[in-house]
Structure formats: C-alpha cells, structure tokens
Amino acid sequence: MGIDFETIMKFKTIMDKMNSKEDPRSKLLISLKPYLKDSRKSKVDQYIQFLNMSKMIDVFSKQNGDGKS
C-alpha cells in the first residue's frame, strides 16, 4: 500500500503528543483563560495550537535524526 509500519508509528506518536494534556505550558495557558477577556481567550486557544504544532515538528525532527536531545 505504500505505508509501512514505521510511518504508522510516527503518525501515532504525533497524534499522542498533540492530544497530550500533560504539557505544563498548555496547562498554564488553560488555567489563565477564566481571567481573560473573551477576545484574548481565543488567542490562548491559538497559542495552544501553536504549541501542539511545535510538538509535531519536534517529533519529525527526532525521527529524521535532526533532533538534539
């Protein structure tokens, strides 16, 4: 089919990282939301999405051997 087991595992790792609620940065932003104006609450959601995207990029760079751990 063109998709090997390694690719499937990479996608699983990415999805797990993106769905994880254990990121302290995301937890902090979520905890601040009740104290913000409505206009800023949507910004917090955007920042959390950016954090999730950065996790995805981190997984790709580590999988390709470019990551520095």
**pLDDT tens digits for 24-44?**
888 898 899 999 999 899 899
Closest by CA to 54, choosing from 24, 14, 10, is 14
What pLDDT is attached to residue 20?
A: 67
> What single DSSP character describes residue 1?
-
Place of tokens 């390694």: 6
The tokens describing 28, both together, are 């902090």
Encode burial over 28-42: b for 16+ CB neighbours within 10 A, e otherwise: ebeeeeeeeeeeeee
54-67 pLDDT tens trace:
877 776 677 666 54
